Amino acid sequence: MGALDGVRVLELGSFIAGPFAGQLLADHGAEVIKVEPPEGDAMRRWGVRLKEGESLWWPVIGRNKKSVVLDLRTERGRRLARELARRVDVLLENFRPGVLERLGLKPEELMADNPRLIVARVSGFGQSGPYRDRAGFGSVAEAMGGLRYLTGFPDRPPPRVGLSIGDTLAGLFTAFGVLAALRAREQTGRGQIVDVGLTDAVVAVLESVLTEYSALGVVRERTGNILPGVAPSNLYPTREGRYIQIGANADGPFARLCQAMGRPELAQDPRFATHEARGEHQTLLDQLIAEWTRSLSLEELDRLLAEHGVPAGPVNSAREVVQDPHFRERGTLLEVDTPLGRLVMQGVVPKLSDTPGAVAWAGPPLGAHTASVLREFGLEDREGAPYG
């Protein structure tokens, strides 16, 4: 039994941010009813696909959810959605602002029928503000929210992180907002609206970037693999051409790194003996460490640095992550039986000691739960028409 057992969520919308929030809630036991159009959710076709056209993203983002086909372009589909909204705890959507209202699912009206309903809304720029009606994807939010500007090297255009980080950040904040609203409902008996813009989520993780500018007019720039003035903390080459990340910028870890290098005297060298000195001589220090790491294999470095208590680890691809025994034993990775075969996917996070959550099933076939969900909610198909 998950921590959210008994919580019912109606998930509308598509792509990543809202459905990722739904995935997180479902991982911890919420009953998430995923409404899909007759042609299926867009995520069934995104990412790397098998020869048959099946997406390998859908088994992850659709896991633990019940697939219900409703065509919200029809009055019948919208009516069934309204009926479902009367019977759930949370309605989760990530349409552009105004679409939910045009579908006849205005939050205020839904909450009048179901005062305990929590309506979680994810959009590019939120439900208010001058940019409210603009289309927005995660990549745009990463750019406008300041994250892309900080990514990469100063002599090159800012690159994509490699993942849809703007979307997943928004999904995380949305799931957090739902949990906060559920907690508040315990006190008040009333639901509320959770409003998350993708840009809100990106700006929220900017650390001290904005206050640095506010106080001193300092604009943090792209610095590649280093944090200026904080050393050593960088990627270093290994003998076979791979890279290892070493973060030994505090006095204790730096002294242990010097021991591992066989050069304990560096910890007493005036150029490196203090945090400030190491930052001032960052380039030279990185060169000395790189000369050492280049002489050893990744396996040797990883073992040696672990033995000396130096924070370090290899730069892993998907291959190395999947093969890492730590991730397997901890449950960070799971093997799940899916309609596409047995697949490795990420496990449930965070890990709760009493109600740990689980992956009960991967993303289901389209419409697999339409009949059972409508029957469960007393909404059997009495009209003899396809559910879609």
Those residues whose C-beta lies under 8 Å from the C-beta of residue 186, and which sit 6 or more positions away, are none
Write the Ramachandran bin of 322: left for phi over 0, alpha for psi from -120 to 50, otherwise beta.
Answer: alpha
- 302 tagged catalytic: no
Question: Would you say 230 and 249 are in contact if contact means Cβ atoms under 8 Å apart?
Answer: yes
What single-letter amino acid sits at 274? T
Residue 88: other Cβ atoms inside 10 A: 23
Q: What phi and psi values does residue 177 have, to the nearest 5 degrees?
A: -65, -40
Question: Would you say 286 and 226 are in contact if contact means Cβ atoms under 8 Å apart?
Answer: yes
Reduced to 3 states (helix: H, G, I; strand: E, B; else coil), residue 16 is: coil
Catalytic residue among 27, 89, 167, 286, which? 167
Question: Would you say 37 and 68 are in contact if contact means Cβ atoms under 8 Å apart?
Answer: no
- For 297-326, letters b (16+ CB in 10 Å) and e give ebeebbeebeebebbbebeeeeeeeeeeee
**Nearest alpha carbon to residue 63 among 259, 353, 344, 381:** 344
Question: Would you say 200 and 220 are in contact if contact means Cβ atoms under 8 Å apart?
Answer: no
Catalytic residue positions?
167
